[in-house]
Amino acid sequence: MGTITKALEMLNFFSRSRSHIGLSEFVKLTGRDKATVHRHLVELEENGFLEQDSVSRAYRLGPAILRLTGVREAAIPVRTVVRPIVRALAEDVGELAHVSLLQGRMLSPVFHFDPFEHGTQVHFDEAEMLPLHATSSGIALLAFGAEGLRNAVLSGALTEFTPDTPTDSERLKQAIEDARRAGYSRLDRAFDREVSSQGAPIFDAGGIAIGAVSVAVPAVRATPEKLETIKGKLLAAAAKLTESLGGRPSPAHPSEPTTGTASA
Amino acid sequence: MGTITKALEMLNFFSRSRSHIGLSEFVKLTGRDKATVHRHLVELEENGFLEQDSVSRAYRLGPAILRLTGVREAAIPVRTVVRPIVRALAEDVGELAHVSLLQGRMLSPVFHFDPFEHGTQVHFDEAEMLPLHATSSGIALLAFGAEGLRNAVLSGALTEFTPDTPTDSERLKQAIEDARRAGYSRLDRAFDREVSSQGAPIFDAGGIAIGAVSVAVPAVRATPEKLETIKGKLLAAAAKLTESLGGRPSPAHPSEPTTGTASA
DNA sequence: ACCGCTGGTTCAAATAATGAACCGAACAGG
DNA sequence: CCTGTTCGGTTCATTATTTGAACCAGCGGT
């Protein structure tokens, strides 16, 4: 593993519940030597990716990240574009919706919105990375993503999150096939024991899936009719997202005419 | 220079006008070997800090940055907190206002707002880092920041941006002294030939300046009366920012009773 | 006085980063 | 059709950087 990766991985230890991390805590988390960890921390800090609390001496994520987000958003306003669309989708279907982008072999959440219309809600932490094989977003992405990614995931370890997680590659391959044919994916209780979700791919300019939009509902509310309603709106939102981000759908994607819009 | 820094510095080449950078372009920009640059790019990409355009093969900032911003904002909602205050300040004084945070020996813009009330405007690019010695924000920060930083900047190179940039350390030291006594800084045509600006420090919980808020006006509109009006509102905004971010002013800061609020 | 816990530093030893030369593809011009 | 150039990317011996055991220093408690 390269030094750069070692340093950057440290940033992933931060989360909603862990906003400040001290030197010794980092040593425990990484399993690396204290001197090594310290030098990495210092170098990250010098570049603004971390900053040290002047009182507790613990480290937190630094201002460089904010600035870079600004630069990225100026070029490809993903967050800016995604926010209203996800919000509209979530409010429309009355359930939690989120968009995640591919990052390595995981999904990186970009924005989520829960209209909180019901007593039970789906738990969602924007700080946590999502697995590809156990989420509807992931399956949708694998179905229309780069071939290398598909092979890598199929031949890699498939962590079991619930009894319904597709942990053998044959079952996963089947799920991916189904998603490719349908243009979206449906997954029940595969990541969270009580959640059913549906995901649809978002494409880049090359017609490769780079992310996915998904609606998750508590399994108890997941009637076939409700899922069918969600499906239509989900696909419409996905198409809109692809378009707004300057992408075009894969030729393999069975893009139905967007609901309510007749094809010319 | 460490490998981590070499890699992270590459991210700084991205800007509003340069959102995609190819391998050879990076080689020119960094002056490093192609193989080295390429491995750095790959490692950054593997960690989601970059992503490669599937068509042009050029690199752009990746999704990891978005996620980390989300995590940081959940812990210390700087951007969220700063936005309305800066906006209110800018609209109140009718001129461009911005907040920047210290990053190494530079300032990293976090948010800016220009009410566009006049024909002439101050140019501001949120993607560009600002020098400490040539901006009012920087002087304010140096006056109340860590001593080590002050010494480092005073003994380092002081780039000349305009004929009025304080380029010798004595003049800079004097400007810092003035700012410390006044609690804010004023700088004319030191960074941009046609801009006057005033800056006030923002403190962390340890009473150390970690950033600054500033109002910049075209020099032609910078009458003494106008600057005086701005000064009061600027200091009020700075106090509010410090408080909202959980900081407390340095004992050395001559915090006047906030305008309109009598001290108990 | 001691201990256990922080964060931080040093220097020889070992590992990981480096770069000249290489490949294959795409494009332009003769 | 051949040639030269530029692009992204890869290889492997050489070299320089990262690494970690041992070391300080400060703090709170006993």
| CB within 8 Å: B127 and A8 | no
Integer Cα distance of A103 and B21 in angstroms: 19
- Domain range for residue B41? 3-66
Does any strand C atom come closer than 7 Å to the Cβ of A51? no
- State the average pLDDT over residues B38-51: 94
Task: Determine the residue among B76, B108, B126 to mutate to test chain A binding: the one whose Cβ has the most chain A Cβ atoms within 10 Å.
Answer: B108
Task: Determine the residue among B69, B79, B107 to mutate to test chain A binding: the one whose Cβ has the most chain A Cβ atoms within 10 Å.
Answer: B69
If asked whether residues B55 and B83 sit together in one domain, one would say no
- State the average pLDDT over residues A181-188: 95
Is A25 inside a domain boundary? yes
Average pLDDT of chain A to the nearest whole number: 90
pLDDT tens-digit readout, A128-140 = 899 999 999 999 9
Does any strand D atom come closer than 7 Å to the Cβ of B29? no
Integer Cα distance of B216 and B25 in angstroms: 34
Give me the CA B38–C1' D10 separation in Å, rounded: 10
Is B250 inside a domain boundary? no
Average pLDDT of chain B to the nearest whole number: 90
- State the average pLDDT over residues A208-229: 94
What is the number of domains present in chain A? Answer: 2
Kindly tell me if the per-residue pLDDT of B258 is higher than 80. no
CATH, residue B85: 3.30.450.40
Q: In the structure, what pLDDT confidence band is assigned to residue B256 with cuts at 50, 70 and 90? A: low
Helices B136-144, B169-182: axis angle to 10 degrees equals: 70
Does any strand D atom come closer than 7 Å to the Cβ of B8? no
Integer Cα distance of A238 and A228 in angstroms: 15
Give me the CA A167–C1' C14 separation in Å, rounded: 40
Task: Determine the residue among A57, A65, A111 to mutate to test chain B binding: the one whose Cβ has the most chain B Cβ atoms within 10 Å.
Answer: A65
Nearest CA among B230, B143, B222 for reference residue B188: B222
Is A250 inside a domain boundary? no
CATH, residue B47: 1.10.10.10
Nearest CA among B67, B66, B70, B63 for reference residue A102: B63
Burial class (CB in 10 A: 0-12, 13-18, 19+), B151: exposed
- State the average pLDDT over residues A80-98: 94
Instruction: For B201-256, give the DSSP string.
Output: EEE-TTS-EEEEEEEEEEGGG--HHHHHHHHHHHHHHHHHHHHHTT----TTS--P
If asked whether residues A157 and A232 sit together in one domain, one would say yes
If asked whether residues A97 and A146 sit together in one domain, one would say yes
If asked whether residues A107 and A218 sit together in one domain, one would say yes
Does any strand C atom come closer than 7 Å to the Cβ of B57? no
Integer Cα distance of A84 and A197 in angstroms: 20
pLDDT at A256: 59
Is A260 inside a domain boundary? no
pLDDT at B120: 86
Is B102 inside a domain boundary? yes
| CB within 8 Å: B5 and A43 | yes
**A57: nt with nearest C1' to CA:** C7
Give me the CA A45–C1' C6 separation in Å, rounded: 20
**Cα distances (Å, whole numbers) of residue A168 to A133, A149, A154, A175, B172:** 10, 17, 8, 11, 67
Contact residues on chain B for A11, CB-CB shorter than 8 A: 64, 68
- State the average pLDDT over residues B125-149: 92
Residue of A nearest to B75 (CA): A19
If asked whether residues B112 and B196 sit together in one domain, one would say yes
pLDDT at B126: 83
| CB within 8 Å: B206 and A66 | no
Kindly tell me if the per-residue pLDDT of A109 is higher than 70. yes
Kindly tell me if the per-residue pLDDT of A157 is higher than 80. yes
Kindly tell me if the per-residue pLDDT of B264 is higher than 70. no
Kindly tell me if the per-residue pLDDT of A161 is higher than 90. yes
